[in-house]
Amino acid sequence: MGCLENDGGSPEILTIPPAVRHIVTIPYADLLVPKYSELRSRLLPLASRMAALSEESKMSLVDPASRFSFGWSHGNEMLRSGQPDVYKGSFYANPIVDVPTTDEALIERYPSYCRQNIWPREDLPELEPAFKELGRLMLDVGLLLAHHCSKFVSARKPDYEEGKLVRMLKSSKCHKGRLLHYFPASNRDTEEWEKGLASWCGWHFDHGSLTGLTRATYMKGKDQVPNPDPQSGLYIRDRLGTITKAVFAEDDIAYQMGEATEFHSGGLFRATLHCVQAARGEAAVGVDRNTFALFMQPQWDEPLILPEGHCDRTESHEVVNFGDFTNDRLNKYYGS
């Protein structure tokens, strides 16, 4: 995982390549990236307002045909316990293109990427421009990082297509933003969460190429408050099994590797195993959490060479396209 940093700071985030064990921090001034802080402050509070819409309004934004990958989703993902995840609600959209394709065969085969965006233009008109502007900025910054990832692989694999990661991500129509709202905890919730680390979001890999992450904001009612539990937040596990809390500053964008980059790099990069620990204790009661993730992903027809043991497939080095790989992954989250 790398971190792009606005001011100073010392993000405690593990780098993934085996030859690199330190944190890669790139000052925003070197990248000439404007407005990030403003865009983050504009978008994240809208997660609370989305969650507070009437049930009728939210249901009009639900798209089961996309495997809940567009619009509003709450209680549709399954936890490892087999129970529905009701602790958080999500709003999904492609920040780059509203209608990825009009090909009906593709829409039917890859609905999680090929269906169109659903925006609450009457109930929450501010959401669409704020979501698109932050998502596009995070994509642009991520492409700068992807350029260096490609150079890293090319230096070690002579047969690797030069600039492959940038080429795939720049032309893709599969990027997906996720605005997340973690609902306020009750006393009972915080007692239950004492039992395990992965209480807000279980251990998992992202299946795309790169995931850009904002630092979360915390709200109590209409007021922004500090994180009520310094131990809560994003945790990652490295290839040696060490668990680390991923700490980054308010004006940083963090990027973590997904499975597609692991496969395309032949294992030189490794997908980041991660979870989210809920805030615990009395101070956490009544406090909600908002954040935004941008999943940078290849086009649905981009081939992947899967190592043995992925996607319940038994053949090693099987070639499958990214869209079918995604369908396998979504079957685990939502059922077949």
Give tens-digit pLDDT for 297-331: 999 999 998 776 554 443 445 678 999 999 988 88
The answer to the question of residue 2 being in a domain is no
> What letter represents residue 201's amino acid?
C
Q: Considering its fold, how many domains does the chain have in total?
A: 1
Residue 15 in any domain: the answer is no
Across the chain, what does the average pLDDT equal? Answer: 85
- Looking at the domain assignment, is residue 147 inside a domain? yes
Go through 185-195 and write b for each residue having 16 or more CB atoms within 10 A of its CB, e for each that does not: beeebbeebee
**204 lies in a domain?**
yes
- Per the CB < 8 A criterion, the answer to whether 142 and 296 are in contact is yes
In a domain, 18, yes or no: no
Q: Specify if 14 maps to a domain.
A: no
Per-residue pLDDT, 11:
36
* 12 is a domain residue: no
Q: Report the first-to-last Cα separation within the chain, whole angstroms.
A: 31
pTM, to two decimals: 0.86
Q: What is the pLDDT of residues 98-119, one digit of tens each?
A: 999 999 999 999 999 999 999 9
Give residue 128's domain range.
36-334
Least confident of 9-23, 100-114, 118-132: 9-23
Summarised one tens digit per residue, pLDDT across range 47-82 is 999 999 999 999 999 999 999 999 999 988 766 666
CATH number at residue 209: 2.60.120.330
Give the CB-side neighbour count of residue 209, counting CA atoms within 13 A: 31
Question: Is 322 within a domain?
Answer: yes
